[in-house]
Structure 1
Amino acid sequence: MSVTGIEKLEFGVEDMTRSATFMRDFGLRDDGSQRRFTTLSGARVELSPLDDGELPPAFEQGSTLRRMTWGVADDQALAALRPKLSAQPGFRELDGALECRDPNGMTLRVQVTQQQPVTLDVDPINQWGDMRRVDKPSPLYEKAEPINIGHVVFFVDDLAAVERFYCDVLGFQVSDRYVDRAVFLRTQARGGHHNLFLLQLPHRGRGLNHVAFTVRDIHEVIGGGLAMNKQQWSTFIGPGRHPISSAYFWYVNSPTGGAFEYYTNEDYLTENWQPRELEHSLVSFTEWAVEGGIDYETRRQQKKSEAA
């Protein structure tokens, strides 16, 4: 499959200053404009005022994601997607990109990837019978430096239609499913557990749930979350672990809408993986989690009154 991952997320926000501060505190690199931020790989987050005329229409009220860009490997892969994308609502061809709207009302673009491979020295975790970290302590992180944008989660009002679009038009693969509720999709047969999670709830219309950023290891998940707590950003939930993908997580409420997540250790799937049909439950979604986060000063669970 040709889609490689998420290239760029464009937000329309009510408070540009606060949103820019959040991005820097979260560990994204500011190019000096206070509007454009990047991960280590070069994936981008861009901020614009809510009423910016250059943004496409919003699919929900308030600060939220307005356009997302997916990358493909090369010009040939982009050209191969054109016939199907050109049949979609809102299609237009830009310089080096194709744009349309998905059935959930989200404007998306597809372009040749501009991200670069990232090579990092990540310390292994010692486990019984597998002692690879020798004469060296595990790392501590003062803050996180997100590597890339791993996945986005949307609330949808027609799960079947949105799933069909991403699988039939963009070639995504189903990883797992919560019966009659949600589906986890990955861009290619071989890759992380999901790049897109679609969630349909009875009393929640379409919108953004969260954006997730990959970090090195569980220690960086913890370090990033603690650093955000130190800067007075509230935790939605975390740290914790998702059994569905094996990932460790920490979600922080974002002024751009939804939450921003640090995560690591997700399952790597191949064409041999058989998607599971699971009933959604607290157990299937969360093995364990800390409500309200951990306080930077005490290193104990944040009290509910403080986490609000």
Structure 2
Amino acid sequence: MDLVKGLGYVALTVGEIDRSLDFYRRVAHLKVSERGTKKAFLTGGVNHHWLRLEETGQSSLARLGFEVRDRAALDEIANRLDAAGIAWKPANDLAGDRVSEAIRFTDPDGFEIELFTDMVSLPVPMDTFLKMDRVLHSVWLTSDPTASGRFYSDVLGFKESDWIERAMVFMRAGNRYHHSIGIARDTNRLGQLDHFCILVDDLDDVMRARNVALRSGAKLRQDVVRHAASGSMSTYIIDPMNGVAVEFCTNHRQIDDEGYRARILPAQASTLDLWKHLPEDFVEPTEQPAQRPAERPAPVKEAEPGKGTEANWNRLNDG
């Protein structure tokens, strides 16, 4: 039986909480569920928070929180941590952290992990611009995904879903989504959070998130892609304060087959984006086609008295 149900929240430390709140409210479309002077909780559903921000003067990943099945599952994981020689401590500050029956420990890669049985629920769901279902997964960077994946399998009960060669592993929890965690090798960015993902209802929501981000001046790390591993369609928006990407995805598949065996996918462009797959007879042009010189737009005539004119086309109407 599964021990961990799925990702519960991501906690980030930030340099200036007001700037970070502006991004996550205006561009990531999350709503503030509770706020203090230096701390804020944001969500897109009924769970009290999907994201926790705390102002410390520096930007980093503070903690990842996972919801466990029940108290028995929490006790089982605590026993496994003891057997592995990993220290843990209780964390039962419901008033401050808004989760109950929790423990915290540091995983072998140095990330602080919190496991909790329950979180405060909001009496009314947040009314959000996008139709958001949950905070789905997080992906972080390490030197040895094989060793890290083994820890999450042996101690927390995650199951392997797929590999990209042996450079990245995707692992699923009890909610059966293709991955609740992803662990990738990147020796240049060790110990960093690469991105976290919010699951939305459909491709329209992904495109709305993309549109608002671009028109707000935010940058995309990846434009709309379709991943080979999970089948999801996504866009990635960069948090300018800490470089973490917020992924909005849809059609993220679930694995129901108990006999499913993880695949080893090739490390190539079409694995990260199926739409980059090219036909066998495709030939890259050796020279770029000549560009036509820009034409001078025709002058706009003023309307004759008593007659109207249509609005000129502009970028804001292209959508």
**Counterpart check, 1:297 vs 2:316:** yes
1:142-168 deviations in whole A, cap 9, x for unaligned? 942432110000011122221111000
**Counterpart check, 1:246 vs 2:231:** yes
**Counterpart check, 1:6 vs 2:7:** yes
1:181 shift after superposition: 0.6
Q: How many residues align?
A: 261
Q: Which residue of 2 aligns with 1:285?
A: 272
CA distance in 2, matches of 1:231, 1:199: 30
1:277-297 deviations in whole A, cap 9, x for unaligned? 1221101111237xxxxx973
CA distance in 1, matches of 2:266, 2:187: 16
CA distance in 2, matches of 1:144, 1:208: 24
Using CA pairs under 8 Å that are at least 6 residues apart, name the structure with larger relative contact order, 1 or 2. Answer: 1
Aligned to 1:180, the other structure's residue is in SS state coil
Aligned letter for 2:74? L
The counterpart of 2:33, out of the listed 31, 34, 38, is: 31
Contact 2:111 2:191 in 1 (8 A): no
Superposition pairs for residues 256-275 of structure 1, below 5 Å? 256-270=242-256, 271-275=258-262
User: Which ranges of structure 1 fall in alignment gaps of 5 or more residues?
Assistant: 52-61, 121-141, 290-294, 301-308
Q: Percent identity?
A: 23
Aligned letter for 1:245? S
Aligned letter for 1:45? L
Q: Which residue of 2 aligns with 1:126?
A: none
Contact 1:65 1:257 in 2 (8 A): no
Contact 1:104 1:158 in 2 (8 A): no
Q: Which residue of 2 aligns with 1:123?
A: none
Q: What is the TM-score normalised by the length of structure 2?
A: 0.75
1:257 shift after superposition: 3.5
CA distance in 2, matches of 1:88, 1:41: 36
Aligned to 1:113, the other structure's residue is in SS state strand
Q: Which residue of 1 aligns with 2:23?
A: 22
Bigger CA radius of gyration: 2
Aligned letter for 1:196? I
Contact 1:98 1:110 in 2 (8 A): yes
1:237 shift after superposition: 1.2
1:205 shift after superposition: 2.1
1:123-156 deviations in whole A, cap 9, x for unaligned? xxxxxxxxxxxxxxxxxxx942432110000011
User: Which ranges of structure 2 fall in alignment gaps of 5 or more residues?
Assistant: 93-100, 277-313
Q: Which residue of 2 aligns with 1:85?
A: 81
